[in-house]
Amino acid sequence: MKMTMTQKILAAHAGVDSVRAGEIVLVDVDMVLGNDITSPVAINEFSKFGRAGVFDNSKVALVMDHFAPNKDIKAAEQCKLCREFAAEKRIKNFFDGGEMGVEHALLPERGLVTAGDVVIGADSHTCTYGALGAFSTGIGSTDMAFGMATGKAWFKVPPAIKFYLTGKPGRWVTGKDVILHIIGKIGVDGALYRSMEYRGPGVAELSVSDRLCMANMAIEAGAKNGIFPVDEKTLEFLKKAGAKPPVIYEADEDAEYEQVIEIDMSNIEPTVAFPHLPGNTKTFDEFGEIKIDQVVIGSCTNGRLEDLIQAAEVLKGRKVARGVRTIVIPATPKIYLEALEMGLLRIFLEAGAVVSPPTCGPCLGGHMGILAKGERAVATTNRNFVGRMGHPESEVYLASPYVAAASAVTGKISHPKEVIS
């Protein structure tokens, strides 16, 4: 058979016994996702297909998260267009207002994706759901329109790189550090067009939240998808979220990988990606004092409860440095509520942080924390391109919630052990 996990899912959804890398297949999709930026373009294209309705109104999800709560009149018009489309097509999974959360945190939490699914989303970080054993990938608005109309998507079957994980991450090392380490090692196009398939005993050491973070950033290595095997932790997560019954695919023993890269996680240090590429990574022994103006803790990469717990661990009983605007953004309303009930929001507020409603906000330089010329931010987000969080001459440093929170306390990019001994 010789298929990777990704290839097996694609073959099953193409209705064939096997596929090989390079072949183009048309597959059935289980979920089509769009947001307030990409859906308006898709809705416009959808109208050109001349279909009355979407292929399945329970398999389309529209999430108003990027510029919402509406940041200006134009953003409001875009959300309105989506809202009207959702009403007209009776789309069941439309999230707006108090139901809205950052899409890639929201869909898994709501049980809208499960193991074995094919999920396409007009958002590059749709690859997040690979953490749950799904094939999921970002596509564009025309693909989204095609998906909504036909329930299908075209793909070139990707070759794969196997990442064989061993060891246990150290005290301050999270999934974010592991993925930054990997991208730093292979480069921002190191997995271009390929699947990143995680295997090995190290997988069990990672929480589902860590895996979601790592699959989320597959795109930052240029990959088509990142995917984890399904284990007890996955099944428990899916059950708790009320997802449909999972279908478990496993790579064949003799599956062909272009490359096998072994990653011993016990050797990884807290890692920071310097401007302006996620692959431009450094560990703390490789740089000196870098003063910062802002800290952002949130996004589809690190805005989940576990991330907030880690940030609160560092911020508890401490104050953020004077002049460092610290913005904490729980990724979904449920996370917000859990953080509230656990007392995390109190810790953040007492430390002098701002707690924002769920939104993508500053992650893409939308609103809620834009940088001025020359300013620097440490963010738990996933991209640090030129101008990503504001002025083209501002800088974003990507890091884990531990590092971000420690940096908020000291006012410079800091290892958490500088704050907690």
Partner 1 sequence: MKVKGRVLKYGDNVDTDVIIPARYLNTADKKELASHCMEDIDREFVRRVKPGDIMVAGRNFGCGSSREHAPIAIKESGIALIIAKSFARIFYRNAINIGLPIVECEAAADEIEAGDEVEMDFDTGLIRNITKNREYKAQPFPAFIQSIIAAGGLVGAVRSGAIGDKTRK
In the complex, the smallest distance separating the C-beta of residue 248 from ligand SF4, rounded to whole angstroms, is 27
In the complex, the smallest distance separating the C-beta of residue 360 from ligand SF4, rounded to whole angstroms, is 3
For partner 1, which stretch binds (CB under 8 A), given 105-113, 115-123, 199-207, 333-341?
Answer: 115-123
300 binds, among partner 1, ligand SF4, none (CB under 5 to 8 A by kind): ligand SF4
Beta-sheet strands, E only, within 78-139: 93-95, 118-121, 135-138
41 binds, among ligand SF4, partner 1, none (CB under 5 to 8 A by kind): partner 1
Map residue 267 onto helix, strand or coil: helix
Binding mask 251-280 for partner 1 (x = CB under 8 A): --------------------------x---
Q: Which of 4, 6, 38, 174 binds partner 1 (CB under 8 A)?
A: 38
For partner 1, which stretch binds (CB under 8 A), given 23-31, 91-99, 267-275, 315-323?
Answer: 23-31
For ligand SF4, give the closer residue by CB, 323 or 387. 387
- Helical pair 208-216 and 175-186, crossing angle rounded to 10 deg: 30
Smallest CA-to-CA distance from 132 within 151, 143, 119 is with: 119
Residues that bind ligand SF4 (CB under 6 A): 66, 102-104, 123, 125, 299-300, 360, 363-364, 381-382
For ligand SF4, give the closer residue by CB, 113 or 300. 300
Provide the CA 188 distance to its chain's centre, in angstroms. 16
Residues 297, 306: contact at Cβ < 8 Å?
no
DSSP assignment of 5-72, as one string?
HHHHHHHHHHTSS---TT-EEEEE-SEEEEETTHHHHHHHHHHHTT-SS-S-TTSEEEE--SSTTT-S
Distance CA 82, CA 62 (A): 8
In the complex, the smallest distance separating the C-beta of residue 40 from partner 1, rounded to whole angstroms, is 5
Residues in the chain: 421
Smallest CA-to-CA distance from 205 within 164, 168, 162, 163 is with: 168
Residue carrying structure tokens 């942080």: 353
269 binds, among partner 1, ligand SF4, none (CB under 5 to 8 A by kind): none
Q: Which of 25, 63, 335, 355 binds partner 1 (CB under 8 A)?
A: 25
In the complex, the smallest distance separating the C-beta of residue 395 from partner 1, rounded to whole angstroms, is 13
For partner 1, which stretch binds (CB under 8 A), given 24-32, 167-175, 339-347, 411-419?
Answer: 24-32
Distance CA 93, CA 58 (A): 7
Q: Which tokens hold the place of 265?
A: 């996680």
Other beta carbons within 10 Å of 41? 17
Q: Is 18 in the site for partner 1 (CB under 8 A)?
A: no
Beta-sheet strands, E only, within 213-265: 225-227, 259-264
Binding mask 283-322 for partner 1 (x = CB under 8 A): ----------------------------------------
Binding mask 158-197 for partner 1 (x = CB under 8 A): ------------------------------xx--xx----
* Cross-strand partners of 163: 198, 261
DSSP assignment of 325-365, as one string?
EEEE--SSHHHHHHHHHTTHHHHHHHHT-EEPPS--GGGGT
- Widest CA span of the chain, in angstroms? 63
Distance CA 157, CA 193 (A): 9
102 binds, among partner 1, ligand SF4, none (CB under 5 to 8 A by kind): ligand SF4
Q: Is 385 in the site for partner 1 (CB under 8 A)?
A: yes
Q: Is 372 in the site for partner 1 (CB under 8 A)?
A: no
Smallest CA-to-CA distance from 196 within 115, 236, 117, 137 is with: 137
Site residues for partner 1, 45-74, by CB under 8 A, read 45, 48-50, 66-67, 71-72, 74
In the complex, the smallest distance separating the C-beta of residue 18 from partner 1, rounded to whole angstroms, is 11
Residue numbers at the binding site for partner 1 (CB under 8 A): 14-16, 23-27, 37-38, 40-41, 44-45, 48-50, 66-67, 71-72, 74-75, 78, 121-124, 126, 138-143, 145-146, 149-150, 152, 154, 156, 188-189, 192-193, 219, 222, 224, 277, 364-366, 383, 385-388, 392
